[in-house]
Structure 1
Amino acid sequence: MAALDQVTQPLRLAAGATLARAGDTRQYVYTLTDGALRLVRTLPDGRRQITGFVLPGDYVGLTETLRHRHDIEAIGESRACRTPLADMRRLRERYPQLERKLMQRTSMELAAAQDAGLLLARLQPSERLAHFLLRLGARGALSGHPTDVVMLPMGRGDIADHLGLTMETVSRTFTKLRQQALIALPQLHKVQILDLPGLQRLAGDIA
């Protein structure tokens, strides 16, 4: 960690700031330390597709592609660290434990991308939202947050663009899950899971 700190530069990102754009040459590996980022693709018809969210502790840019495949945007005020690719490669060769950790992160990113593809193939909005909440809840639990509380740093519009739904459908589906006593909505950006087994059944086999 000390060697990594020596080649890492901290960054502050204002809400809405763009960290990198699709097509830019990949020069750094980024680590998010606070806030949240979204990975955005613009479809040929101009619509926006959010392929994933980056939360504290997540890395961006670990793949071996030469260019970024997404716009990387800050949802709110965020902090990140960036490490030049050449320095990261040297550290991965020097420290096998770092290489193992980064490989694990890359595998997690691949699994998340596969999950996103499955979500878009599902027909029921409630199934998509249930799986999304469970996935966020599991990531929060790994960081020491309560297992029955899901924090949503992103807005309903971002969730809609991630799940392939309209914002109105996302809002209605949140209300439906609340009426079914699966969740409570104490705050706009906070969800409390009231019936974990019920939410897992709704999410199906991919949860």
Structure 2
Amino acid sequence: MRTNDTVRAIGHCGQCEQCEHCSARSQSICSVIDQRDLHQLALHSQKIEIPSGRCFIEEGETARDFFIVTDGHAKLFNLLPDGRRQITGFADCGQFLGLASIENYAFSAEALTSLRVCRFSHIGMSLLKTQFPALERRLLEEASSELVRAQARMLLLGRKTARERLASFLLERQEVAPRSDVLILSMTRTDIADYLGLTIETVSRTLNAFRRDKLIEIDHITSIKLLNLTEIRLLADGEGF
């Protein structure tokens, strides 16, 4: 990724003393680095600001860097040969991106909101793993989590109904919500439909059905309150009404 007037590099984290007060640290791979060693982490990272709508990872480009989301939200997607787009996931605070990329990035990433990320070069991350063995173990845990998410997504797209898919999506977002019963959605209905393999009409119709069934309350197009989490969980598992 090249820095230009729309993607702003603040500088090395060590220079601006961001690591110690980073809100994403407890949720990210950086949590295994002791407080007294944060200066080593900072030496190998760079803070980047990315405006909404800007891609910061391009599918097929040479994978030179890893990224940790420290503030904001992003969507991950692949492009088909005919130009169609398939959203494969959403990245939130603390998420590590680029782990599965060896030579080239296997996906693209676009900021859904104003976004801040920490960027680590592959060389820098290798040095950190050598210096801090706990970091390598944490990356293995991250890789395992990615496999679990991929398997869950295969099940969602392959076997679940529209109601079950949307219930599963609400639970996914609930896991990262600051308030567990209120979801602030940074993605559009079109993004949700793309991610779930549904039409936007089906997403809107199913959300309205959930509202009528008193499972959710739609306060705004970007705000959904979960009223009956137990029933939503049952529905996601194929056991609801």
TM-score by length of 1: 0.91
In the aligned structure 2, how far is the partner of 1:74 from the partner of 1:166? 23
Q: 1:163 aligns with which of 164, 179, 196?
A: 196
Say if 1:107 and 1:123 are closer, same or farther in 2 by CA, change over 3 A: closer
Query: Do residues 199 (structure 1) and 235 (structure 2) align?
Result: no
2:237 aligns to what SS in structure 1? helix
CA contact (8 A) 1:51 1:113 kept: no
Length, aligned pairs only:
202
Change in 2 beyond 3 A, CA 1:205/1:177: closer
Identity %: 38
Matched, 1:83 2:120: yes
8 Å CA contact retained: 2:183, 2:224: yes
Report the Cα distance in structure 1 between the residues aligned to 2:184 and 2:173, rounded to whole angstroms: 8
Question: How far does residue 63 in structure 1 lie from its aligned partner after superposition?
Answer: 2.1
Going from structure 1 to structure 2, the CA distance change for 1:139 and 1:76 (only over 3 Å counts) comes to closer
Cα deviations across residues 143-165 of structure 1 (Å, max 9, x unaligned)?
xx222222211111111110011
Report what 1:129 is aligned to: 166
Q: Secondary structure at the match of 2:150?
A: helix
Structure 1: how far apart are the matches of 2:237 and 2:94? 28
Matching residue within 67, 73, 82 for 1:45? 82
Larger radius of gyration: 2
* C-alpha distance in structure 2 between counterparts of 1:51 and 1:178, whole Å: 26
Q: 1:173-193: CA deviations, max 9, x gaps? A: 111111111111112222211
CA distance in 2: counterparts of 1:150 and 1:100, whole angstroms = 32
Alpha-carbon distance in 2 for matches of 1:205, 1:179: 19
Say which SS state the counterpart of residue 106 (structure 1) adopts.
helix
| Aligned ranges 1:62-73 → 2 under 5 Å | 62-73=99-110
**2:141 aligned with 1:104:** yes
Listed one character per residue, the Cα deviations across residues 96-143 of structure 1 (whole Å, up to 9, x for unaligned) are 222222222222222112211111113521100100111121233xxx
| CA positional deviation for 1:44 | 3.1
Greater relative contact order (Cα < 8 A, sep 6+): 1
Q: Is the 8 Å Cα contact of residues 130 and 199 (structure 1) preserved in structure 2?
A: yes
C-alpha distance in structure 1 between counterparts of 2:57 and 2:117, whole Å: 13
- How far apart are residue 55 of structure 1 and its match? 0.6
Distance 2:131 2:199 in 1: 47
Gaps of 5+ in 1: none
What is the match of residue 94 of structure 2?
Answer: 57
Aligned partner of 1:10 in structure 2 is 47
* Corresponding residue to 1:30 among 47, 53, 67: 67
Match of 2:209 in 1: 176
Conserved? CA contact 1:52–1:113, under 8 Å: no
Query: In structure 1, the residue corresponding to 2:61 is in which secondary structure?
Result: coil
